[in-house]
Amino acid sequence: MTRLGQPARRQALMRSIVVIVLAVFAGRLVQLQVINGPEAAAEGQANRMVTTAQPAERGQIISSDGTVLASDVARYEIEANPDIINDTDLDSGQLIGPGAEVLASELAGPLGINQTKLEQMLRETDQDGKLKTWVRLAEHATQEQWDQVRERREAYLKVGKDPGVFGSKHYIRSYPAGTLAGNLIGYQYETEDAKRVKQYTGLEQVLSSRLEGKAGSIETEVGRKKQPIPGGKEISNPAVRGCDATLTIDSSLQFEAQQLIQAQVDKTKARAGMVVAVDVQSGELLILADSATPDPAKPSGQTSGYTNSRAVENTFEPGSTGKVVTMAMLLEGGYATPDSPYRVPYQVTLGGQVYHDSSGHGTESLTLTGVLAKSSNVGTLLAAQGVPDQVRYDYLKKFGFGEPTGVELPAAQEAVGVVHKPGEPPKRAGDPYWDGRTANNVLFGQGVSANAVQATEVFATLGNGGVHVTPHLVKGWNCGSNGFEAAEPAEREQVVSEETASQLVQMMEAAVDSGTGKSAQVEGYRTAGKTGTSQMYEEGNKEIWVGSFVGLLPAEAPRFAIGVFIIDPKAEGYYGAVVAAPVFEQIAASMVDRYGVPPSTTRPTVLPLEW
């Protein structure tokens, strides 16, 4: 034991204890700074890193001639942290932040907010009376507004003062062409729940997977009040922009068609009108126009209450345009030729059912071409007697009735129409079905329903040598540096022989030259087509009229199939020859001019209408 009176030994003991303590501290210091230092520093920095999502810009939707129909526009959510803005030194009580009064005077103008109101926002407190750490100043500020705010923010940061104002970029959808193709484009909206997820309709919905880009992120080092540390660490993962979609729609023709169909709807006091125009060889839809076309930027403000394409969503009986399918069946099946002769009275009784033509006449001696040209229901029935019901049904299906068109619009939006099978009973009381009368009605376009695209596609198929090409709206994609990528080739199917198609086009040319379609004639061009007057059924089986004309030109080498449909005309009559054919003539004339199609130089083959 240590004895009193031996200070040297006590001092040595104390020195030993001090050395041991210092060694422990040194060891701990080495452990913290050398061994665990990098890991601890990294952990500390990780705790100071905040990740902010960077939204991707959505691709544009563009017409075939370069008109932008839909695009993203950058907007900024501008936020403030009153706790930082009004921060004071704990010892002196002096402002460290810029102060609400000064900052409000600087930002009121750029933000378009009353200065007094803005100052109040920058001093907002929570329920405990403490300054808030987050206040939204603007939700959709423009690029110009954010640039002005950012300029003031950077000026403060340069002098070492945090302004407590931040901005986060996002995009909103813009539709710069207004109502142009608004029935096809669709629109953007947000769900009403707390997440406010963006949703789309129309082409915006169908093409979304490629229009949508890939979101990025930025990791930023922040201080104790979550403010970015000047010169702190920042890790950027850039967002990837979505692909641009180029449509087949020609904006110039689409605009004119919208104007013309609206004018005709107004003139005839109709409920609505539609125009379909397709390149028969490629299947590209050049026009898909509706009257009262909606503005995608204001979907909730449409006076018509209609924001989709009626050309695929509304179905109606094709009427006399459907006789073209019957004629194709007769020619292809060897049941008749263009000059086959028929005695055609005004009305006929078949299977106990009476059928008649649209206007009275004596017994006429008509060829099959004359039956089509004069749009005789009775003549069509007489020509098709002996054709089995199943064959009649098969040809309707072969020409696309009752089948999806393939057009890139939401499946839920398209109505494919009704084609009942022979002998199929009705699903509900009052529904049409394939009974003895329906088996005959379908021969002249009744007892079956189709949309405007389906009705036009029958003619496009015949104009393309009997080959059906799936109609489509997307021409291709442009994904940044990859350049233009053409869409997958449309599916093609031989429906009838080239000979049958050629004969039928000649018969339809006679219908325009000498039959019911005279008002559809295009000066300088041979035109083939067919008028139609039919019914459309509403709730409660209420019937309204649909006047239509569908045609091809130039008839000697068809390039375009064009369909015009007027729903429920109440003035100027309701026959397709009166309400639809004149619009066809105007649109057809514009199309051949637009695409530089030379006038016809050959005369049509004269097919006799009578015998």
The verdict on residue 277 lying in a domain is yes
If pLDDT is split at 50, 70 and 90, which confidence band does 252 have?
very high
The verdict on residue 185 lying in a domain is yes
Q: Are residues 172 and 255 located together in one domain of the fold?
A: no
- What is the average pLDDT across 83-103? 89
What are the tens digits of pLDDT across the range 374-431? Answer: 999 999 999 999 999 999 999 999 999 999 999 999 988 899 998 988 876 767 666 6
Q: Are residues 287 and 209 located together in one domain of the fold?
A: no
Q: Are residues 75 and 213 located together in one domain of the fold?
A: yes
The verdict on residue 188 lying in a domain is yes
What are the tens digits of pLDDT across the range 115-126? Answer: 999 999 999 999
The verdict on residue 110 lying in a domain is no
The verdict on residue 457 lying in a domain is yes
Task: Output the domain CATH number for residue 367.
Answer: 3.40.710.10
The verdict on residue 160 lying in a domain is no
Determine the pLDDT at residue 39: 60
Determine the pLDDT at residue 92: 83
Looking at the predicted structure, is the pLDDT value of residue 369 above 90?
yes
Element at 89 (helix H, strand E): none
- Domain boundary pick from 224, 247, 270: 247
Q: Are residues 195 and 290 located together in one domain of the fold?
A: no
Determine the pLDDT at residue 300: 72
Looking at the predicted structure, is the pLDDT value of residue 324 above 90?
yes
Domains: count for the chain: 2
pTM for the model stands at 0.86
Determine the pLDDT at residue 432: 57
The residue range of the domain holding 69 is 47-82+168-247
* pLDDT averaged over every residue in the chain: 90
Buried b (16+ CB within 10 A) or exposed e, 267-282: ebebbbbbbbbbbbbb
The verdict on residue 345 lying in a domain is yes
> Is residue 78 helix, strand or coil?
strand
Residue 377's region, left for phi above 0, alpha for psi from -120 to 50, else beta, is: alpha
> Is residue 178 helix, strand or coil?
coil
The verdict on residue 611 lying in a domain is no
What are the tens digits of pLDDT across the range 444-461? Answer: 999 999 999 999 999 999
Determine the pLDDT at residue 230: 64
- Cβ burial of 125 (10 Å; 0-12, 13-18, 19+) is exposed
- Domain boundary pick from 204, 231, 247: 247
Determine the pLDDT at residue 211: 96
User: Which of 64-73, 86-95, 153-162, 301-310 has the largest mean confidence?
Assistant: 64-73
Looking at the predicted structure, is the pLDDT value of residue 264 above 80?
yes
If pLDDT is split at 50, 70 and 90, which confidence band does 309 have?
very high
* DSSP 8-class letter at 35: I
> Is residue 484 helix, strand or coil?
strand
Q: Are residues 554 and 468 located together in one domain of the fold?
A: yes
Which tokens sit at 570? 């109440």
Out of 145-154, 415-424, 556-565, least confident range: 415-424
What are the tens digits of pLDDT across the range 509-538? Answer: 999 999 889 999 999 999 999 999 998 877
Q: Are residues 243 and 335 located together in one domain of the fold?
A: no
Q: Are residues 190 and 257 located together in one domain of the fold?
A: no
Looking at the predicted structure, is the pLDDT value of residue 32 above 70?
no
Contact 246, 476 (CB under 8 A): yes
Element at 582 (helix H, strand E): helix 581-594
- What is the average pLDDT across 239-267? 97
